[in-house]
Structure 1
Amino acid sequence: MHDVFVLYNHPDLPQEFDAHYRDVHASLVNALPNLREFTWGKPSEDGAGYYVVARLTYDSAFEAADSLASEAGKKSVDDLANFAGAGVTVLNITRAG
């Protein structure tokens, strides 16, 4: 299994971020091909300084790369400019064992 973690920095306008993420971005992510699971949430106050953490799970790193390179993937990535101006960090992790 392969996970893509997206770590969102704290936005200047949290309510606008929340509304866009919930009402627009999550639907774009759910439309990604090959996606096995998509979860997201807000870490506890000691959550390493991130506002939202999302996890996208795929069967393999190849399927994750293919998914994000798709038309739906491009739409999802392009949408970041609409709400994630504070920046994001993306981690790709292939699970051992």
Structure 2
Amino acid sequence: MSFRVAVCYGKPEDPAAFDEHYTSVHIPLAKIIPGLTEFTWGKVSSMDRSDPPYYAVANLYFADEESLKAALVSPEMIAAGKDLRNFASGGVTMFTQEELSVG
């Protein structure tokens, strides 16, 4: 079991600018969030050729609920959150999830 924050990015006005800022500025900000055990991200494709609801999705993993709660109020998470306005012109949907392994 682990806990994660999922960050779902809507299609940005300028995808190239999003990609540049995300990889050069936002990833380094997010990677230093305390308690982070894994950080993944990727661009989204639809399986039926329709427009996907998101441009990209990032997942930030934490070992336990306490680590997640501490991370959410940390200065590092707050800084990463404030950075969203600098590149996420397509909007952002975020949620937390307790993940259970089923296999």
User: TM-score if structure 1 supplies the norm length?
Assistant: 0.92
Offset at 1:64? 1.4
The number of residue pairs the alignment matches comes to: 97
What's the TM-score once normalised by structure 2's chain length? Answer: 0.87
Structure 1 or 2, whichever has the larger Rg, is 2
Q: Answer yes or no: is 1:76 the counterpart of 2:80.
A: yes
Letter in structure 2 aligned against 1:23: S
Equivalent residue, structure 1, for 2:9: 8
Amino-acid identity (%): 37
Unaligned stretches of 5+ in structure 1?
A: none
SS of residue matched to 1:26: helix
Please say if 1:28 is aligned against 2:43: no
| Structure 1 runs of 4+ with >2 Å offset | 45-48
Q: CA RMSD in A?
A: 1.5
Separation in 1, partners of 2:46, 2:88: 19
